[in-house]
């Protein structure tokens, strides 16, 4: 009897929590298809795609989304390449300072990137890099590296060294071995790291906000902020439509790697280096 009551109470609490978390989402979804959405989610039975049509213009959303894809995409690709290379000796060789290096990487993941941006901004200003998208991508790559090298090394450790030996016998060097044997075998791991970095940068607001100078270079994260602060109160349905279009890629990519990421949450208990 008490067992059933406890079960019911647990389910009821979960239901309440879920509803509470769902509230703000519902607003976005409902308001985006309402012809005249106001701040509150007061759903009417009308359905229209006018809001989507209104925001789907070049300056409002298409260019910012392209910028987001370019910035997040190049950061992800560069990070995977650089981290993959760096992970190889860490995974394969006996290096004297490996443990120190790995611990330093883990330590670095804890430092607030927000604070690092002040000197980065000052540096960019001094070296005429302020407003440069490639320079910002290099900074974003560097800030993604500590965690990515860590993850890449873990995935690489999962590829048995015996598989590489055959390639060595055939006279392959480490570059060939990495490209032809290890790389393909850890493809899922590479995808996880790439998507992880991509999604992280997709939502990154502060770095482009302070490092880029003109609206034409800004990714959607900054454009939606500008839209929100300028028209947020007036064009609410459009803001909601913008939010849906901007959020969707992040959600889709997250779902794609969800099951691989689950394992990395043991991070808080013990970390396998």
Partner 1 sequence: MTVATALSPAVTGSPAGGPARRRRVLRWLLPMAPALVLLALFLAGPILWSVYIAFTNETLTGSASVHSQFVGFDNFTRMFADPNFVNSFLLTFVFVIGSAVIGQNTLGLIIALLQRGRGRVTRSVVNGVVIGAWVMPEIVAAACWFSFLAEDGTLNRVLGISQEWLYTAPMLAVILANVWRGTAFSMLVYSAALSEVPPDLVEAAAVDGASPARRLLHITLPLIRRSIMSNLMLITLQTLASFGLIYALTGGGPGTASQTTPLYMYEQAFRYFEIGYGSAIALVMLVIGALFSLIYLRLIKVEDA
Q: How far is the CB of 140 from partner 1 (least distance, A)?
A: 9
- Asked if 108 interacts with partner 1 (CB under 8 A), we say yes
- Asked if 231 interacts with partner 1 (CB under 8 A), we say no
The residue within the footprint of partner 1, chosen from 45, 110, 128, 234 (CB under 8 A), is 110
Q: Which residue, 106 or 133, has its beta carbon nearer to partner 1?
A: 106
Query: Rounded CA gap, 267 and 201, in Å?
Result: 21
C-alpha to C-alpha distances, 259 to 9, 21, 99, 118, nearest whole angstrom: 29, 22, 29, 36
The residue within the footprint of partner 1, chosen from 56, 70, 77, 106 (CB under 8 A), is 106
Q: Which residue, 50 or 157, has its beta carbon nearer to partner 1?
A: 157
Q: Which x/- pattern, by CB under 8 A, does the window 62-101 give for partner 1?
A: -------------------xxx-xx-xxx-xxxx--xx--
Query: Rounded CA gap, 136 and 212, in Å?
Result: 8
C-alpha to C-alpha distances, 228 to 27, 118, 153, 238, 242, nearest whole angstrom: 15, 25, 41, 10, 10
Q: How far is the CB of 121 from partner 1 (least distance, A)?
A: 7
Q: Which x/- pattern, by CB under 8 A, does the window 121-140 give for partner 1?
A: xxx-x------------xx-
**What does the CA dihedral 170, 173, 179, 180 come to, rounded to 10 degrees?**
0
- Asked if 236 interacts with partner 1 (CB under 8 A), we say yes
Residues near 63 by beta carbon (within 8 Å), at least 6 away in sequence: 216
The residue within the footprint of partner 1, chosen from 44, 57, 230, 266 (CB under 8 A), is 266
Stretch that binds partner 1, among 48-56, 179-187, 190-198, 235-243 (CB under 8 A): 235-243
Query: Rounded CA gap, 214 and 134, in Å?
Result: 14
**40 to 59, contacts with partner 1 by CB under 8 A?**
40-42
- DSSP 8-state class, residue 158: T
Neighbours of 240 (CB within 10 A): 23
């Amino acid at each position: 009897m008490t067992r059933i009551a406890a079960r019911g109470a647990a389910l009821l609490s979960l239901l309440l929590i879920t509803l509470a978390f769902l509230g703000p989402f519902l607003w976005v979804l409902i308001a985006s298809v309402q012809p005249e959405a106001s701040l509150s989610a007061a759903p009417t039975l009308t359905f229209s795609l006018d809001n989507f049509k209104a925001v789907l213009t070049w300056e409002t959303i298409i260019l910012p989304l392209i910028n987001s894809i370019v910035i997040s995409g190049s950061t992800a690709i560069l990070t995977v390449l650089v981290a993959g290379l760096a992970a190889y000796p860490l995974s394969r060789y006996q290096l004297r300072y490996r443990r120190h290096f790995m611990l330093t990487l883990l330590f670095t993941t804890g430092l607030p990137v927000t604070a690092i941006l002040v000197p980065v901004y000052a540096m960019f200003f001094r070296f005429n890099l302020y407003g440069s998208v490639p320079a910002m991508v290099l900074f974003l790559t560097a800030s993604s590296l500590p965690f990515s090298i860590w993850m890449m090394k873990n995935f690489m450790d999962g590829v048995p060294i015996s598989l590489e030996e055959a390639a060595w016998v055939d006279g392959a060097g480490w570059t060939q071995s990495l490209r032809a044997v290890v790389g393909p075998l850890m493809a899922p791991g590479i995808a996880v790291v790439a998507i992880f970095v991509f999604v992280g940068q997709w939502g990154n607001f502060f770095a482009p906000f302070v490092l880029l100078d003109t609206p034409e270079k800004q990714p959607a994260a900054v454009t939606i902020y500008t839209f929100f602060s300028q028209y947020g109160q007036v064009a609410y349905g459009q803001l909601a439509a913008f939010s849906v279009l901007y959020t969707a890629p992040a959600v889709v990519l997250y779902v794609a790697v969800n099951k691989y990421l689950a394992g990395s949450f043991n991070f808080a208990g013990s970390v396998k280096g």
